């Protein structure tokens, strides 16, 4: 994204990966955008599957970018209806999610990520992508955690 794309606009970037946590983080970001008059840039990053051994056979018609777009649309569609005044931009980017989100933070007023998504280390209080973003982003980062029930 070119720097001039967001000049004069307030932008909240939110990373989504299809997890319930990222959908909840997106809902929070949309609510904040409605309150502040900001735009929301929804970003989904994807990578080709890799293997350390033999090549992984890919099924005919395998299109991870299209799958990522479909997943992001399932999250943003209902939010667009719920928050009709919010301007939404969705980007599907090939790359590591943490690196893609930190790059996007260069042009944002706020980066929103969930505390845990479809990461590799279950049981962590904060995911590796969230930790990477919180320590390297160029703007403030909100790590969204679902409130605990009964508290």
Quote the pTM value. 0.83
CA distance 115 to 144: 6
Total structural domains within the chain: 1
**Residue 123, domain member (yes or no):** yes
User: What are the residues whose beta carbons fall under 8 Å from the beta carbon of 9, sequence distance 6 or more?
Assistant: 38, 39
CATH code for the domain of 123: 3.40.50.620
Average pLDDT per run of 10 along the chain, which is 151 residues long?
53 96 97 98 88 70 90 98 97 96 98 75 65 96 81 55
Tokens representing 22 are 């990222």
The C-alpha angle 64, 69, 74, rounded to 5 degrees, equals 125
pLDDT at 80: 98
Rounded distance between C-alpha atoms, residue 143 and residue 118, angstroms: 15
Evaluate whether residue 13 is within a structural domain.
Answer: yes
Look up the domain containing 115 and give its range. Answer: 7-47+80-144
CA distance 1 to 9: 14
């Amino acid at each position: 994204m070119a720097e001039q794309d967001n000049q004069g606009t307030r932008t909240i970037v939110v990373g989504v990966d299809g997890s319930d946590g990222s959908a909840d983080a997106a809902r929070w970001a949309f609510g904040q955008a409605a309150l502040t008059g900001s735009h929301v840039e929804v970003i989904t990053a994807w990578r080709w599957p890799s293997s350390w051994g033999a090549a992984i056979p890919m099924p005919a018609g395998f299109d991870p970018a299209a799958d990522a777009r479909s997943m992001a649309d399932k999250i943003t569609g209902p939010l667009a209806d719920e928050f009709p005044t919010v301007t939404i931009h969705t980007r599907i980017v090939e790359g590591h999610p943490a690196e893609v989100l930190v790059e996007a933070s260069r042009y944002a007023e706020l980066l929103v990520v969930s505390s845990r998504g479809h990461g590799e280390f279950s049981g962590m209080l904060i995911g590796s992508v969230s930790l990477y973003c919180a320590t390297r982003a160029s703007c403030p980062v909100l790590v969204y955690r679902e409130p605990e029930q009964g508290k």
